[in-house]
Amino acid sequence: MEFIVAFKGKISEIKNYDNIVVALEHFSIATDFKYSKTQFEAIVQQASEDNVGVYVLCNKMIFDEDLEVLESHLEWLHTQNIKGIYFSDMAVYMLAKKLNMVDLLIYSPGMTIVNSEDVKAYLSLGLQAVELANELTLDEKILIAKHNPHQVGIVISGYMLMSFSKRKNLSNYFNFIEKEIQLENNFDLRLIERTRDGLMPTYEDEHGAYIFSEYVLHSLNVFEALVNAPFKYFKIDGIFLSQDVVLEMFEAYKKCVIDLKAFSISDFEVKFKDIVFDDRFYHLETSEVK
């Protein structure tokens, strides 16, 4: 089992991690920071010197007009010293197959991988791993991991993407109420859904509109069970969180591998007073969570 942490810091901070996942321009979505190719090449070089593994986020919905550029993007990634590519659109797989780099792929569609047969079907394509849906309960995640040992990963902390629409819903709303506001890549927006009380982070970019959970998922209360199950990796997402907070979360979870009592959720709540933490999906079926 390894830790993979969303990275949006300085190159000098790479050494603080075991593995990082990096968002790049053009083909990474649901992220609040993207690096250019030139910056990424410097990251890969430094990570190699620091013995840190590098993964890449390539999770954009792919359209016909993207295919030529995507193939070029994958060809370039194949020349880089990376451990894996997170993807959610099968066009990425088809082009990766053409380029003989399927073994780098990790299928991470977000909400649809909820059973062992799906996992086995995707792994049969030659992928290195599959990421399970966040909304599964603890028992469901562990059962799938046992059926596919060391081949599935999960997100253990971070805001969860609840909804994505290619439609520019925020723009449409503010146009309707005739209010001018800077929307694109504005990560300070929050909304309240009719059936919820919490503030849900939301933003819009050139690809569409995104809505995230009103809380940061945490796994401290169930970490012993997770560590004892055959997961391939634990991932910490970083959108709407500072890199300092992400680093502290990583260090806390890593210490808990050695000593399960090293940190508790109350420690997080005291340290990060402006963040709401929750782990409801580990204990309730999705249909029971409003």
Query: What is the distance between the alpha carbons of residues 188 and 169, in angstroms, rounded to a whole number?
Result: 16
The amino acid present at 150, given as its one-letter code, is H
The pLDDT, as a whole number, for residue 82 is 98
- Residue 282, SS3 per DSSP: helix
The pLDDT, as a whole number, for residue 260 is 87
Look up residue 119 and give its two tokens.
Answer: 């996992």
The pLDDT, as a whole number, for residue 263 is 86
Look up residue 184 and give its two tokens.
Answer: 């694109």
The pLDDT, as a whole number, for residue 110 is 85
The pLDDT, as a whole number, for residue 167 is 87
The pLDDT, as a whole number, for residue 290 is 46
Q: How many residues does the chain have?
A: 290
Supply the DSSP string of 4-63, one letter for each residue.
Answer: EEEE-S-GGGGGG-SEEEEEBTTT--S-S--B-HHHHHHHHHHHHHHT-EEEEEE-PPP-
Q: What residues contact residue 236 under an 8 Å CB cut-off, 6+ apart?
A: 3, 4, 5, 6, 155, 156, 157, 158, 246, 249, 250, 253
Render pLDDT for 90-106 as a digit per residue (tens, 0 to 9).
Answer: 999 999 999 999 999 99
Look up residue 175 and give its two tokens.
Answer: 């146009």
The b/e string for 193-202 (b: 16+ C-beta within 10 A; e otherwise) is eeeeeeebbb
Q: What is the SS3 string spanning 222-270? A: HHHHHHCCCCCEEEECCCCCCHHHHHHHHHHHHHHHHCCCCCCHHHHHH
Query: What is the distance between the alpha carbons of residues 290 and 286, in angstroms, rounded to a whole number?
Result: 8
- Residue 289, SS3 per DSSP: coil
Any idea what the Cα angle at residue 28 is, between residues 23 and 34, rounded to 5°? 40
Domains of the chain: 2-288 (3.20.20)
The pLDDT, as a whole number, for residue 289 is 52
The b/e string for 56-67 (b: 16+ C-beta within 10 A; e otherwise) is bbbbbebeeebe
Q: Tell me which residues of the chain have a pLDDT lower than 70.
A: 286-290
Assess contact for 202 and 211: CB atoms under 8 A: yes
10 Å CB burial of residue 136 (0-12, 13-18, 19+) is buried
- The sign one gets for the Cα dihedral 260, 261, 265, 269 is negative
10 Å CB burial of residue 26 (0-12, 13-18, 19+) is middle
